[in-house]
Structure 1
């Protein structure tokens, strides 16, 4: 099924369907909105037919000055089999030529009471949100001190148990097991939970628990920007883990890179505290405070002083 259709817009923006009912399930594939002013003047060389067409007072006032043959021609060319919808703003009267053309080509014509500028901005924001690239990742998403932390790892490594401990420490659960990630127009990544498992947490041996029911509405969030990835893996004695924090891993989602920290898991390690501190340290790094780099610089200065003394 298409992500967005004219039928969706009717429900979300309370639009009145005037004509072209057979086309209300045409897919809308772009978030760009077109105001066909040049087209009203007869210039269709670069007509973006696949966009939602928005007609306001300016376009319709100009249209009213045309003769009958020009009016029919403009609306015939405005309505194509690729046009997903035409929306009239301000509750304006709809030209009869548009009604005839919309029924002929099955283009839904809808009317809104909103002003043209406001309708254009709200439509664009909605379509950008709905049409943004989306993928699903196996993991847990937690809001820790305002930092969206995606916890990944193999099944059974302790992701959900860590999330439960973090919720008990006052942080907020966004998603468990499956995290839906969409890329915003500015390149940022936003994660949320599938509606079926929203607010639910699966703990092996305990079963499924409802975090909002147990801990209150303050323990959950519907969505959050993802800024840090923490990957949990079973401790490998043969692997050399980063002990200073100077090495930076990157996890690519779409074309956006997220900083990733690998945390080895073994009995006795308090993963919730480690993840919490990792989020706090990430905030400090964004503020320009990097403990690992400061230590490295301090160590280098001590070595240099020692070399001078030997000379």
Structure 2
């Protein structure tokens, strides 16, 4: 704009403002001339100034807008960060989700959300989970009430957001017709058109559900590194059977 004659500069800026743009951001800490500010005021367009260079501001604004306008869904479940693996714990009311999450927090892991989790899809590449602002860092524990996790367990026990890597559904043992004993058949849970690895954890009195969720997260981390214990064991077993098969038997 500075390189243009005054009349042309005002005319072009007025044409820009006539497009009903939400605001004008001036980079490098520069100032708009008084006549340009008057045009913006007449069109009721806000003018902001930033010390950032244009490229860096555009990159930062793009990332922020992607987060604000990306597809978002609400899932009823609690989210925990276990060794860098984001686990969404689902289940019917009263199944023991909060007790399970408390057990994981006591083991040194971090709470992301309790009961209600907001999940956002970023360009269809990954799912990012967080909690609603009003319930952030808080948990409802039946028989005790609402607790502030950061105050009780320390700031290391909370995390504002985490990528979703695994969904674990707690289900009463008596309601399960078949319990997976090998892990060869992988399950997935679809959220915002993306498939997330899924495990179903049978629940009954005496089972350490928190420990089972912890092991499931560790196993998922190994799978992400290319190690699948179920497939490795199956291959080992088939090779052993092949060696012991009598000659001539197909």
Deviation track 1:187-242 (CA, whole Å, cap 9, x = no partner) reads: 21111122222222212222222222221111111211111110111124661122
Deviation track 1:67-93 (CA, whole Å, cap 9, x = no partner) reads: 444323311221135311111112223
Let me know the Cα RMSD of the aligned residues: 2.0
Q: Which runs of 5+ in 1 are unaligned?
A: 1-62
Q: Calculate the TM-score normalised by the size of structure 2.
A: 0.90
State how far apart, in whole Å, the 2-side matches of 1:259 and 1:89 are. 44
Corresponding residue SS for 1:252 = strand
State how far apart, in whole Å, the 2-side matches of 1:154 and 1:310 are. 54
Q: Which runs of 5+ in 2 are unaligned?
A: none
Contact 1:81–1:105 (8 Å) recurs in 2 = no
Q: Calculate the TM-score normalised by the size of structure 1.
A: 0.74
Q: Aligned runs of 1:69-108 on 2, under 5 Å? A: 69-108=7-46
Corresponding residue SS for 1:221 = coil
Rate the CA distance shift 1:246–1:129 in 2: closer, same or farther, 3 A: same
Contact 1:250–1:260 (8 Å) recurs in 2 = yes
State how far apart, in whole Å, the 1-side matches of 2:152 and 2:239 are. 52
Q: 2:101 aligns with which of 163, 170, 175?
A: 163
Number of residue pairs matched? 249
Q: Equivalent residue for 1:141?
A: 79
Rate the CA distance shift 1:122–1:248 in 2: closer, same or farther, 3 A: same
Q: Equivalent residue for 1:49?
A: none
1:244 lines up with 2:182 in the alignment: yes
Corresponding residue SS for 2:245 = helix
State how far apart, in whole Å, the 2-side matches of 1:294 and 1:207 are. 45
State how far apart, in whole Å, the 1-side matches of 2:88 and 2:176 are. 26
Contact 1:134–1:180 (8 Å) recurs in 2 = yes
Superposed displacement of residue 154, structure 1: 1.1
1:231 lines up with 2:169 in the alignment: yes
Contact 1:75–1:97 (8 Å) recurs in 2 = no
1:131 lines up with 2:69 in the alignment: yes
Q: Equivalent residue for 1:66?
A: 4
Contact 2:124–2:194 (8 Å) recurs in 1 = no
Q: Equivalent residue for 2:131?
A: 193
Contact 2:113–2:136 (8 Å) recurs in 1 = yes
Superposed displacement of residue 282, structure 1: 0.7
